[in-house]
Structures are given as structure tokens and as C-alpha cells.
Amino acid sequence: MRHTISLFVDNESGVLSRVAGLFSARGFNIESLNVAETMDPETSRITLVTEGDDFIISQIIKRFNNMVNVINVTDLTDEPRVEREMVLIRVEAKDKTRAEILRMADIFRAKVLDVGQKTYTLELTGDKEKVNAFIGLLLPLGIKEIARTGTVAMEREAKPSKKKGDKK
Amino acid sequence: MARMIGADMFFETLIHQGIDVVFGIPGGYVLKVYDVMTKYEDRIKHVLARHEQGATHMADGYARASGKPGVVLCTSGPAATNTVTGIATAQMDSSPVVVFTGQVPLPYLGSDAFQEADHIGITRPCTKHNYLVRRTRDLPLAMKEAFYIASTGRPSPVLVDMPKDVILGEDELVIPEKVSLRGYKPVMKGNIAQIKKAVGMILKAKRPLIFGGGGLIWSEASEELKTFAHRLEIPVTSTLMGLGSYPADDPLFISMLGMHGSYAANMAVHESDLVISIGARFDDRATGGNFEKFAPYAKIIHIDIDPSTIDKNIVVHCPILGDAKTVLKQMLELLPSEIKKNRKKWLGQINKWEREHPIGYEQNGDKILTTYVVDTLSNITKGEAIIVSDVGQHQMWVAQFYKFKYPRTHITSGGLGTMGFGFPAAIGAKFARPDKQVICVCGDGSFQMNMQELATAVENQMDLKIILMNNRHHGMVRQWQTMFFDGNYSASYFKVLPDFVKLAESFGAKGLKVERPEDVESSLREGLSTEGVVLMEIMVDCEELVYPMIAPGGAMNEMILGASDIA
């Protein structure tokens, strides 16, 4: 099953490889990973999406809790949450497709970031399905390059996340 | 506040931490640390090992025998990578070993400089935490945190990497009194609702069993365990790591369980209606590895300090997160003064199993049985020595036949099964407990993996005994080849072995060789009462097999009890 896991960690070198190491040690792939500083410059937030056996994911989360650099872990999978992802897409813009690309961008509320002789660069924010749908529509027109941030997520309400040391 | 260089801060912080012995080897990037060390000689004893793996096992043996962190100091690159087996060994058995490595100067990190290795990257999966110190003034804090993390919660190894410029740099010495880490708060006390639930389950159980592990020893819970078992009249079995936590001569003790556990212990697990696991992690060697068939009639209470062990191998009915000693105290407080136990039938059944298939041997014929040697050793020392075993058949026989009475007297590499652990760990244990008789029991295969430390033992004029069971084989490998590979003894026989007596003598130790069963007792007595480092080489039968045995993947009640079961 697909899991979205949110971690608050010490903002220091090596933390990311500790987190990633738990997955690689079990031969698990991380589908997407997003890391950035929080309001507190000493803390980073990681949003991690992975596909895997629930039992093993629950083991991994317990191991996260054991890590000295991990301040807080929440498996958002079963929580009401908002999820967003941003993508930058460079798409071929030929005479006959230029208008259509802009029309689609408008429908999807994507922004045009860069206009060139041969390409448009678009920015789109949305959940994974919306991003995939947009990419799917642009694909026949010739996508030159894409860059995705991976999912970032938050619980819908400010309810307290699980503290370390709580029993399962 | 005194200004000093990092090397001095290192020793000042060790002293502040109460450390008085360090096991290590000098080299390139830690030379300044070794240079200033002579100033601290009166307060810190440095034990010069002959190999960094040996140094790490020594620190581990010291930690297991004393309960205090064991400290390793060595240089970078090959020295650091040599410690890895020792670190992984300590991690698997929850031993607080703190390793300090030298490192190339910060500007050279990642440049493939001479003797550079990524110590942090290499040891990340086998330490609880590790530090690369970037500023001289951060060194004392990193060290304090390292000791705190290593010795609290579930004890584990921690590594601190010290680049040369950090060691040479000068700053004010600030040693923090307290350590506070926002991401690390070990839980000691058990959740009261869970404890009440557990006590209810225990009072209702008809066939309860205590399944004790190494956590009992690290949390020093032996007294509480004994009170608990006696008040409720619950039989006690133990994992390999738990041996010593409960006295073997107590009538409620039913010996070790698991792959080579006693018939009674394994049957008791299988038939029990309530398994109370304390400080154990349901490892495959303790459960037979068939988690589905494990204790099929039992509810399981699991008391452990490490949340990641809960539901890892066995899904349990009542987990209690906390320190074994604290939780046992909490449970004892909740017990009613009058307890209806009705254990006659259950204890009678266990007793019957014990009589049906006792652990035993028959020493007749002219070949010496290792079981006989261990049994004799147990009798001679009255179960009071610290026995440090290595890994293999002899290790299982020590676990089965030596009657351990006290915690921290049985030291062995259980989780990782590191051959070569025994002898250096015995050196460390002797440094921790100079008052105790310390005996390393090893095999010819395992002793050869770290025999260079004979020099360390002799150099420190130790009173240390080595009982080397020589069967000219990797005995446990040979046993598996006998049982599961049609007797195809591939690469398990040593065509060449050193003359171990002469080898010991060449290091300045004493050696004696025993070849006849009738000489075993007198030779052991002689060797054990001889001062100094004494190696007793016992020529043992290579065909003796460890029984009972649960074949891998078997259930606890599916034991091979002897040769007639193999066919």
C-alpha cells in the first residue's frame, strides 16, 4: 500500500541518509521525497512517499522513532490530509500547438514561467492525479523535460501528532 | 574556563564521564591524542590491543561485565573499518560501546586522502547514532551525548569521528553537565493501563512462562525477576543473552530455550497459555524461526525498552514499552497479597519433560566430550566464574551446561555470532572485574580469529584463562554438514593448526594440553589455579553434536533430540 510519511528532523548533514538507509536496508524504494527547512531553521520537514507492505512500513516508522535526529514521525496514510505536488514542464511549442498549450494551462491553472522560440515552461501545482493528468495531456505535444517536487503533505486539522514513545 | 586543544578535551571529558580504561591502537590522525595521553596515565589506563577488532571486542566485554560503557580509540581508515565487526557485534547484543576514531582534517574530507574512509557512512547502520565533530569546542558535547545515547534506553554502540584539525584546534573547555536531545527520550516507566492488563492476564493464566532476555541484565532486573517469579510461581526460561539473569540452580529455572534449548523449556513455550517476555526480542534462534507455530496456545506479554522490537517478529497481545526493572517493580506493586496459583499441574508437567529428556552426555570411551569439559568446569568453579564464550558448538554447550548464577557472568556474541569475539571480550571483562575468575571458552576455529590478543593479555600481566576446545574443525559447520548436507565436510576441517601450547608460550603465556578424559578435571584444576595467562588446549571429539536441535523453520516442539532422530 502507498504510504505518505511526514518526519520532523534535525536540520543537519547526514540525516537524510539515515532516513533513506532504513528503506534501502530492506530493499524498498522511496517513490518521492521532499525535504526543506521549517519555521525553525534547526528543523527540517521530510515528506516521504513509499509503496510497501504495511507491516514493514510500521517497523520502519518505529525505527524512525528510535533515531536520535528524528523529532517526530507521522504516517499520514490513514489521516485526513492535504497533499500537493509541484511540477515544472518544458513542452515543445510549435506554431500549431502554442495556443492549445496555453489553453490547457489555463484550464489546469498552470502558470507559464518561460516562453521561448521552441518551448514553453509551465508550472503546475496539484495533487498527484492532477499533475499526472496534465502531463498525460501534454505528452502527445512533446514534453522536453519535467521536474517534480514530490508530494508534500499535512494533516487537515491541527490535531496533535503521535509523540515519540507512545505505544503503538 | 581552561583553554586547551581538542586532544586534551578528549581526556578531560572521558575523566568527567567516569571512564578509566580505553582500548585502542595509535595511528596517523590520532597521534596528538596519544601524545597528550601520557599526561593522563594516572587516571586513564590505555590498553594497547593488537587489532582494532580486538580492541572493540575488549570494550564490549568490558561493558557487558561492568554495565558501564566500553571505550575504543583508534585512527582512521583501516583502523575504523576494523572496528566495524566489533560495533555490529555490540549493536546486536545491545552493548554500550563508544568508539572514537581519528579522521582526515575537515578540508580533506571526501578527497580520498591517505587512510581516509567514510566512518560515519560505514557505521551508520550498525550504530545507534554517530557524530562527525566539526569544531573543537563541540567535542565535549558530542562525547557526552555519545555516552548518554550509548548507555540509556536500549544500550548500543555510538561512534564519534574526530578530524585531525578538531583534535589540534584550541578552545575553551565546556563540558555540559546534562544532555538533552529533543529527538531522543527513552521511556523507562511502563504504561499503567497496559501493566494492569498484563497483571490481569498473569493472574488468570494456568500455564504461564517467563521468557527472559538480555534486557534483564542491562536493566539489572535480576532481583525483581526473582521476586516476581517466586511470588507467582512462574517457571523461567531464558534466551542465550539472558543467561545469568536468573540463577540456574533455582527450582523454577528450566534452562535456555530455542534452537539448542532444553526439551523442557521448548515444550513449555509450546504448551504455555501465557508467555511473559521480558527484555527479549523473539529472535529466530530463540523461537525456532517459525513465527507462525510459535507458542500456539499462548497470549503474549512483551516488555521491552525498544519500541521497534514490539510486533517485529511475533505479534503480541500486550506490549509494554519500558525498562525491565521498572516495569517489573510496577507489576509487583499491583499484585494482590493473596494469589491463587494452582501451579502443581503445570510445574509437574514441566518436571516430567525435564526428566524425560534431560540435557546430558555420556563420557565413556577415550575421546573427550566438550560437554563433559564444560560440565566439569561448571562444577569446579561452582558456576561463579565469568565465562566468555566464543561462537559455535562450544558456545551452545556453555549455555546448556554451565550453571550461571549471576548476571554479567555469561558473555557471548549472541545476535551477530561473531567468531573471534570471545578472547578479546574476556580481556575486557577481566579489566572490568579484576576480582573475578574470568575464563574464555573457545574453539580452535574461533580462537584463530583473534589470537594475536594473547600479546595484549600477557603485556597487561592478566590473570586470564583460556579453555580451547580443539576438534580440528569448524565444529558447528561440521554439525550442519552432518545433519543437513549428507556429511559433505566441505572446508570445515583444518589440515594445519598451530601448536596452541607453543603458540601461547611464544607470547609469554603458559600452555597445557589435555588429551585423555581422565586428565580433564585435574588439568582444569591445575590450569585454573596457575597465575597468569594460561591456555588449556583440550583435544575433543569432533563428532559430538549439540542436542536438542530445532531445525531451521521448525516449531518449538519439533526437536531433534539425538542421533536416532536424524536417520
C-alpha cell at B396: 551452545
In this prediction, residue A168 carries a pLDDT of 41
**B180 lies in some domain:** no
Chain B residue with CA closest to A9: the answer is B183
List, for residues A84-130, the tens digit of each pLDDT value: 999 999 999 999 999 999 999 999 999 999 999 999 999 999 999 99
C-alpha distance from B182 to closest chain A C-alpha (Å): 6
**B554 lies in some domain:** no
A66 contacts in chain B (CB < 8 Å): 128, 306-308
Rounded average pLDDT over B347-361: 95
Same domain, B123 and B214: no
Same domain, B37 and B165: yes
Same domain, A69 and A106: no
Same domain, B20 and B113: yes
**B35 lies in some domain:** yes
Distance between CA A4 and CA A80 in Å, rounded?
A: 12
Distance between CA B496 and CA B470 in Å, rounded?
A: 12
The secondary structure of residue B109, as a DSSP letter, is T
- Terminal Cα distance for chain B, rounded: 75
Chain B residue with CA closest to A22: the answer is B125
B494 counts as catalytic: no
In this prediction, residue A160 carries a pLDDT of 56
Helix then strand then coil, in percent of chain B rounded to 5, is 40, 20, 40
| Segments in B273-421 forming alpha helices (H) | 284-287, 324-334, 344-356, 370-381, 393-401
Spatial contact of A23 and A33, defined as CB atoms under 8 Å apart: no
The count of CB pairs under 8 A between chains A and B is: 56
Same domain, A36 and A55: yes
**B522 lies in some domain:** yes
A77 touches chain B (CB under 8 A): no
What's the domain range around B239?
Answer: 192-356
A65 touches chain B (CB under 8 A): yes
B320 contacts in chain A (CB < 8 Å): 167
The CATH number for A55's domain is 3.30.70.260
- A contact test, residue of B118, B158, B180, B184 with most A CBs within 10 A: B184
Same domain, A71 and A98: no
Same domain, A112 and A49: no
- B contact test, residue of A67, A68, A164, A166 with most B CBs within 10 A: A68
Catalytic residue among B52, B116, B224, B537: B52
In this prediction, residue A158 carries a pLDDT of 63
B293 counts as catalytic: no
Contact B308 A59 (CB under 8 A): yes
- Classified as helix, coil or strand, B79 is helix
Which value, to the nearest 10 degrees, does the dihedral of the CA atoms of residues B317, B323, B325, B330 take?
-60
A residues 22-51 closer than 8 Å to B (CB):
25
In this prediction, residue A54 carries a pLDDT of 86
Task: Report which of A58, A36, A59, A32 is spatially closest to residue A46, judged by C-alpha positions.
Answer: A36
- Classified as helix, coil or strand, B430 is helix
Radius of gyration of chain B, Cα coordinates, nearest whole angstrom: 24
Q: Which of A52, A79, A106 is the last residue of a domain?
A: A79
Identity of the residue in A25, A62, A167 whose CB atom sits nearest the CB atom of B194? A167
Same domain, B416 and B480: yes
**A157 lies in some domain:** no
**A166 lies in some domain:** no
- A contact test, residue of B182, B306, B313 with most A CBs within 10 A: B182
Same domain, B344 and B375: no
Same domain, B214 and B347: yes
Same domain, A61 and A45: yes
Rounded average pLDDT over B385-391: 98
What's the domain range around A52?
Answer: 2-79
Say which residue, B154 or A161, is predicted with more confidence: B154
Contact A68 B183 (CB under 8 A): yes
**A27 lies in some domain:** yes
Chain A residue with CA closest to B312: the answer is A59
| Mean of all residue pLDDT scores within chain B | 96
| Segments in B93-241 forming alpha helices (H) | 119-123, 139-151, 164-168, 192-204, 215-218, 222-232
Same domain, A17 and A74: yes
B404 counts as catalytic: no
Rounded average pLDDT over A59-77: 93
In this prediction, residue A167 carries a pLDDT of 45
The CATH number for B34's domain is 3.40.50.970
Same domain, A61 and A118: no
Same domain, B168 and B283: no
Task: Report which of B439, B398, B422, B394 is spatially closest to residue B541, judged by C-alpha positions.
Answer: B394
List, for residues B286-338, the tens digit of each pLDDT value: 887 778 889 999 999 999 999 999 888 888 999 999 999 999 999 999 999 98
Give the model's confidence band at B71: pLDDT under 50 very low, under 70 low, under 90 confident, else very high: very high
Give the count of domains, chain B: 3
The CATH number for A97's domain is 3.30.70.1150
**A162 lies in some domain:** no
B162 counts as catalytic: no
A70 contacts in chain B (CB < 8 Å): 183
Rounded average pLDDT over B378-387: 97
Task: Report which of B271, B230, B273, B274 is spatially closest to residue B253, judged by C-alpha positions.
Answer: B230
B308 contacts in chain A (CB < 8 Å): 59, 62-63, 65-66
Contact A69 B120 (CB under 8 A): no
Same domain, A42 and A70: yes
Same domain, A55 and A89: no
Share of chain A above pLDDT 70, in %: 93
The secondary structure of residue B244, as a DSSP letter, is T
Same domain, A68 and A89: no
Same domain, B402 and B513: yes
List, for residues B43-53, the tens digit of each pLDDT value: 999 999 999 99
In this prediction, residue B393 carries a pLDDT of 97
Give the range among A48-62, B75-89, B440-454 with minimum mean pLDDT. Answer: A48-62
For B21, phi and psi rounded to 5 degrees?
Answer: -140, 140
Rounded average pLDDT over B404-418: 98
The CATH number for B302's domain is 3.40.50.1220
Give the model's confidence band at B423: pLDDT under 50 very low, under 70 low, under 90 confident, else very high: very high
In this prediction, residue A142 carries a pLDDT of 94
Same domain, B198 and B340: yes
B52 counts as catalytic: yes
Distance between CA B174 and CA B499 in Å, rounded?
A: 53
Give the count of domains, chain A: 2
**A163 lies in some domain:** no
Same domain, A46 and A92: no
Same domain, B380 and B300: no
CB atoms closer than 10 angstroms to residue B367:
17
List, for residues B108-122, the tens digit of each pLDDT value: 999 999 999 999 999
A70 touches chain B (CB under 8 A): yes
In this prediction, residue B551 carries a pLDDT of 85
| Mean of all residue pLDDT scores within chain A | 91
ipTM: 0.84
- Residue where the block lists cell 574556563: B1
Same domain, A37 and A106: no
pLDDT for A14 beyond 80: yes
- A contact test, residue of B134, B308, B318 with most A CBs within 10 A: B308
**A14 lies in some domain:** yes
Helix then strand then coil, in percent of chain A rounded to 5, is 30, 40, 30
C-alpha cell at B458: 600477557
**A7 lies in some domain:** yes
Is the omega angle on the peptide bond into residue B517 within 30 degrees of 0, that is, cis? Answer: no
CB atoms closer than 10 angstroms to residue B312:
21
**B405 lies in some domain:** yes
Rounded average pLDDT over B535-551: 95
Same domain, B47 and B168: yes
A59 touches chain B (CB under 8 A): yes
Rounded average pLDDT over B256-265: 95
In this prediction, residue B502 carries a pLDDT of 98
**A168 lies in some domain:** no
pLDDT for B563 beyond 90: no
Same domain, B168 and B227: no
Share of chain B above pLDDT 90, in %: 92
Catalytic residue among B32, B128, B164, B226: B164
Rounded average pLDDT over A43-51: 94
pLDDT for B554 beyond 90: no
What angle do the packed helices B52-66 and B84-92 form, to 10 degrees?
A: 20
